[in-house]
Amino acid sequence: DSGVTQTPKHLITATGQRVTLRCSPRSGDLSVYWYQQSLDQGLQFLIQYYNGEERAKGNILERFSAQQFPDLHSELNLSSLELGDSALYFCASSPHPGTAEGTQYFGPGTRLTVL
Amino acid sequence: TQLLEQSPQFLSIQEGENLTVYCNSSSVFSSLQWYRQEPGEGPVLLVTVVTGGEVKKLKRLTFQFGDARKDSSLHITAAQPGDTGLYLCAGGSNTGNQFYFGTGTSLTVIP
């Protein structure tokens, strides 16, 4: 158990819908990273927040957005869902603001299925 | 884009054999991590290396970071069925806050 929690574990929805994925980082960690993992794309970095502020952006679509709240939990919002958005979505937390120390702890993931 | 390529992509070996997995890039990284992931679960951090040439050992696993901080290797001695999983390397960006993940090596250890 990494100490990172994600809800829900599974989510099934239809195309065009909007969903919210939630992540609670390990106690004391200020950084949250979001990733998408699909069979053909591997693990892709989406976005990072540190202490409530957006810190880095990766391959995140405009239909996707995220935020980190004062209690440090984070939400990833996916809208106008398409079939291709079906994937595993992971969040990871870190005590560090950057990558130099290289420590991330992953949650168990949310499996999103878009029908 | 700082691309990390892993080889081999798939590896199936008998219990007791040794193996090496490689992670290569043309980019320099501030740090490099190795993870193991089991189906339907999140990646679990095995090790972080930050100094060029650094070698770290974790029981039967030996990790090395290249001198130029562009590549890494993971060597497993006397593989066991419990080592089965997807091994991922990830590099910390030298210029930003992003981690770049490798393409992954799927290892199966046959009893």
Give pLDDT tens digits for A16-59. 999 999 999 999 999 999 999 987 778 899 999 999 999 989 88
pLDDT, tens digit, for every residue of A52-74? 999 989 889 999 999 999 999 99
In the stretch 16-55 of chain B, residues with CB closer than 8 A to chain A read 30-33, 35, 40-45, 48-50
Greater confidence, A36 or A2? Answer: A36
Instruction: Give me the mean pLDDT over the B82-110 stretch.
Output: 88
How far are the Cα atoms of B21, B83, B86 from residue B8, in angstroms, in the given order?
7, 16, 11
* Whole-angstrom Cα Rg for chain B: 13
Closest CA to A23 of A42, A3, A37: A3
Q: In percent, how much of chain B has pLDDT > 70?
A: 95
Q: Say which of B45, B97, B104 has its CB closest to residue A105.
A: B45
Q: Does the pLDDT value for residue B1 go beyond 60?
A: no
Which chain A residues have any C-beta within 8 angstroms of a chain B C-beta? 2, 4, 33, 35, 42-45, 48, 50, 55-56, 58, 88, 90, 92, 97-109, 111
Confidence band (pLDDT; 50, 70, 90) for B15? Answer: very high
The model's confidence at residue B39, banded by pLDDT at 50, 70 and 90, is confident
Which of A99, A106, A111 lies nearest to residue B43, judging by beta carbons? A106
Which of A35-49, A91-105, B45-59, B62-76 shows the lowest mean pLDDT across its residues? A91-105
Instruction: Work out the pLDDT band at A97, boundaries 50, 70, 90.
Output: confident
Q: What is the pLDDT of residue A2?
A: 86
Give residue B77's pLDDT. 97
- Long-range Cβ contacts of B63-70 (<8 Å, 24+ apart): B63/B34, B65/B32, B68/B28, B69/B28, B69/B29, B69/B30, B69/B32, B70/B24, B70/B25, B70/B26, B70/B27, B70/B28, B70/B29
Spatial distance between the Cα atoms of A113 and A86, rounded to a whole number of angstroms:
5
Contacts of A51 in chain B (CB under 8 A): none
Q: How far apart are CA B79 and CA B61, in angstroms?
A: 9
Checking if the pLDDT of B110 tops 60, the result is: yes
